Amino acid sequence: MRVQTKATVSAVVAALALFGAACGKDSDTKPAAQAPAAATDTVTAIPSLSGVGTSVKLDGGTAAALKSLGVAIAPSGSATFDAATSTITFPITSGYAEIHSDLAFKPGYILGSIDHAGSGFTLTAGATKVGLSDFVVDPGNSVLYGTVGGTPMVPLLSLDGTGVKVSMEGGNVVLDGTVAKLTDTAAGALNKAFKTDAIKAGTPLGVVHLVAKGAATTSTDKLTVISRLAGKSTSVTLDAGTAKALQSLGVAVAPVGSATFDAKTGTVSFPITGGFAAIHSDLGYKPGYIAGTVIHQASGLKFSKGAKSLTVTDFVVDPGNSILTASAGGKSGIPLLDLDGTAVKVGSAGSDVTLDGTVAKLTKTGADALNATFGVTAFTAGLPLGVVHLVAAAG
């Protein structure tokens, strides 16, 4: 039997307080693909984690070492830097958190994905510049991923939350004390970029200060969990009527980045680069029995007509709340598509999970943006973009 309630602020605090403790183990970038919940397991979920941001106070020794190598660090995108405290802050743009009362739950009793799209930092030495951005925190596997040189989901930092402390600040939950350390991958890439061998795996980048908010629900039904998504793709077969309407308006639609288009089937595909998924046995679970966040970095769509265009990228699917958000014009988290899963079918293909039949429809925000771009009124909320086929694999 499922139990579900809207949690009070104190419940959210209690739930998120576990975040740091769950990040206490050393990183293992090979998460368990699935883990069944214990019979007595109670799950507290925050299906729409948002703001305020994740800050890193740079380690003094590491900062001095970078300076001695002639490497300067600076914020990029929407990140900010406080010189007085040597702290870089990255806004939280979306996410999902799930906390299990069964502390033996694997790979960790706090799971989810916390996204920071459109922000990052650069490391510069002379003519060499390395950009790291679009960070995704995977608390269950104690890893922070980022985009480097256009490649998304590179394991950059391991997260040690042994000394984490939790408190409240203006109604938000605050977690302090998690230490972010360079992974082997990050250290190797930086050494190669700056032609040195001085940067070591395990070097502390700094101490993390996370400020988050979100309403929580609880449940006791059984879950199937994919703690870290690492492919394959979300595809949309374009609605024939909408495609014809776009053609009549002279508006062309084309894939961008790593997205691909199959002209024979009219299907555009976006590689899944990360995220988290939980499938509840209780089909009446609210807001939706398929929960989590599915990330598609470095791909998207371009709508164009002559010299006018609108490019939307870095899609994030929130299946629980039936919404797809995107980045456009330097802004992230824009609600672009409503997802109607009335006819969705959940299946499997080998070890992959498949979802078929969800209809993607333009939101009012998406319709207004297209109308404004092309100076028309033809785009309306609810206009079907197409039918979704999602194939998800565990990392």
pLDDT value, residue 366: 97
Q: How confident is the model at residue 24 (pLDDT cuts 50, 70, 90)?
A: very low
Does residue 156 surpass a pLDDT of 60?
yes
Question: Tens digits of per-residue pLDDT, 363-391?
Answer: 999 999 999 999 999 999 999 999 999 99
Q: Between these two residues, 88 and 283, which has the higher pLDDT value?
A: 88
Q: Coil, helix or strand for 366?
A: helix
Per-residue model confidence (pLDDT) at position 39? 54
**pLDDT score recorded for residue 15:** 41
| Strand stretches in 221-341, DSSP E | 223-226, 229-238, 252-257, 260-262, 267-271, 274-280, 290-305, 308-318, 323-328, 331-340
pTM of the model: 0.87
Mean pLDDT of 290-319: 96
As a whole number, the mean pLDDT across the chain is: 88
Query: Is the pLDDT confidence value at 302 over 70?
Result: yes
Give the model's confidence band at 13: pLDDT under 50 very low, under 70 low, under 90 confident, else very high.
Answer: very low
Question: Higher confidence at residue 195 or residue 48?
Answer: 195
Q: Which position has the token pair 């629980």?
A: 320
pLDDT of residue 50: 83
Which value, to the nearest 10 degrees, does the dihedral of the CA atoms of residues 215, 172, 89, 182 take? -70
- pLDDT at position 242 over 80: yes
pLDDT digits (tens, 9 = 90+) for 192-241: 999 999 999 999 999 999 888 888 888 999 988 999 998 899 999 999 99
- 154 compared with 350, residue with greater pLDDT: 154
User: Which of residues 108 and 232 earns the better pLDDT score?
Assistant: 232
**What does the pLDDT look like over 170-182, one tens digit per residue?**
777 788 899 999 9
Please report, for residues 42, 208, 242, 260, 310, the alpha-carbon distance to residue 112 in angstroms, rounded to integers and kept in the order given.
Answer: 16, 18, 35, 28, 31
Residue 92 pLDDT exceeds 80: yes
Q: What local confidence, expressed as pLDDT, does residue 22 receive? A: 40
